């Protein structure tokens, strides 16, 4: 196993370039985790969600051997803090980084656009409309809009939910390019404890739903007596996909009502959000 805490092995077998010692942390501090510090240094190179950097640029900026940076970026990508643009061989910040900074300006800009659509969907469904992003091996509720119904589902902002048994996680997977989908699916599957055959069946069904209806569904699969539909949208090149989910108890948000009444507005809302964000970016 690679040991990132030891820069001399295997990164510098010949005693070559060493990371600069800026004196910020005494070397005798045994509680200081060098690998963690290096990972945070890599993340700090990304000054905005638009920033895209390759391993060579990151190595230069961090003063680390490229082999170390390659392992760090691989780990950060596996955890969702970075996203790899395979065509450009460059990284940018991912969903987990967004989840750590909910007040980031671009996140605020997205919320300003999305909230009116969320309110209309919540009022129509009499349930809850949620803006949901990925956080490592789960999905994270980034914002909620509750209907006035006292019977509606109450799930707090910041709650992490399943990636494979929820409509939101399924919609997110369908919005990803193949390489990212494979990585996210593996993480979701491990967390949810599902075997490969079951996970593949879920993905195949979700893909068919998106083609047929423009959204994904989860009727009693995440929690008993809870129904939901979801659609993913791209907030722009700088941010990872987000999902808009409409959910509620079966008693007041039956599956038929979600599909027949709410679904058309959900699909229309996603298109409207993308159009508004695109116009905002110009």
Q: Which of 237, 231, 235 is nearest to 212 (CA)?
A: 231
Domain holding 51, by residue range, is 1-93
Same-domain status, 46 and 136: no
Residue 152's pLDDT is 65
Residue 49's pLDDT is 64
Task: Count up the domains in the chain and report the number.
Answer: 2
Same-domain status, 177 and 270: yes
Query: Of 60, 78, 93, which one is at a domain's C-terminal end?
Result: 93
Residue 28's pLDDT is 61
Query: Of 93, 125, 151, which one is at a domain's C-terminal end?
Result: 93
CATH number of the domain residue 151 falls in: 3.30.450.40
Q: Name 248's bridge partners.
A: 227
Same-domain status, 65 and 78: yes
Same-domain status, 78 and 110: no
Residue 10's pLDDT is 30
Same-domain status, 78 and 39: yes
Same-domain status, 194 and 141: yes
CATH number of the domain residue 75 falls in: 1.10.10.10
Same-domain status, 122 and 80: no
Query: Of 40, 58, 93, which one is at a domain's C-terminal end?
Result: 93
Same-domain status, 88 and 170: no
pTM tops 0.85:
no
Q: What is the three-state SS of the chain?
A: CCCCCCCCCCCCCCCCCCCCCCCCCCCCCCCCCHHHHHHHHHHHCCCCCCCCECHHHHHHHHCCCHHHHHHHHHHHHHCCCEEEECCCCEEEECHHHHHHCCCCHHHHHHHHHHHHHHHHHHHHHCCEEEEEEEECCEEEEEEEEECCCCCCCCCCCCCEECCCCCHHHHHHHHCCCHHHHHHHHHHHHHHHCCCHHHHHHHHHHHHHHHHHHCCEEEECCCCCCEEEEEEEECCCCCCCCEEEEEEEECCCCCHHHHHHHHHHHHHHHHHHHHHHHHHHHC
Same-domain status, 74 and 202: no
pLDDT averages per 10-residue partition of the chain, 282 residues? 34 34 51 88 79 93 93 94 91 82 58 94 94 91 84 78 97 94 94 94 97 98 95 84 95 95 98 91 72
Residue 103's pLDDT is 45
| Long-range CB pairs of 249-253, under 8 A, 24+ apart, other chains included | 249/127, 249/151, 249/152, 249/153, 249/225, 250/219, 250/220, 250/225, 250/226, 251/151, 251/225, 252/126, 252/127, 252/149, 252/151, 252/152, 253/125, 253/126, 253/127, 253/152, 253/227
Same-domain status, 183 and 119: yes
Same-domain status, 141 and 224: yes
Same-domain status, 189 and 233: yes
């Amino acid at each position: 196993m690679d040991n990132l805490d030891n820069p001399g092995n295997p990164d510098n077998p010949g005693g070559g370039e060493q990371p600069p010692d800026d004196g910020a942390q005494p070397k005798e501090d045994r509680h200081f985790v060098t690998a963690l510090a290096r990972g945070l240094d890599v993340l700090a190179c990304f000054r905005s969600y638009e920033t895209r950097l390759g391993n060579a640029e990151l190595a230069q900026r961090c003063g680390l051997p490229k082999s170390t940076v390659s392992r760090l970026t691989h780990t950060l990508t596996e955890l969702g803090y970075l996203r790899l643009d395979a065509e450009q061989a460059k990284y940018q910040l991912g969903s987990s980084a967004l989840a750590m900074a909910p007040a980031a300006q671009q996140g605020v800009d997205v919320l300003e656009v999305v909230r009116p659509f969320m309110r209309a969907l919540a009022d129509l469904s009499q349930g809850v409309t949620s803006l949901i992003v990925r956080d490592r091996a789960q999905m994270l509720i980034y914002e909620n809009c509750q209907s006035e119904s006292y019977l509606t589902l109450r799930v707090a902002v910041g709650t992490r939910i399943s990636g494979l048994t929820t409509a939101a996680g399924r919609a997110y997977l369908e919005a990803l390019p193949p390489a990212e989908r494979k990585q996210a699916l593996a993480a979701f599957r491990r967390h949810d404890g599902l075997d490969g055959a079951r996970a593949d069946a879920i993905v195949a069904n979700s893909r068919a739903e998106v083609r047929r209806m423009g959204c994904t569904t989860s009727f009693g699969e995440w929690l008993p007596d809870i129904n939901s539909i979801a659609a993913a949208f791209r907030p722009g090149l700088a941010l990872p996909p987000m999902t808009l989910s409409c959910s509620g108890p079966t008693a007041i948000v039956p599956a038929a009502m979600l599909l027949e009444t709410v679904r058309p507005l959900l699909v229309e809302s996603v298109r409207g959000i993308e159009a508004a964000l695109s116009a905002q970016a110009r």
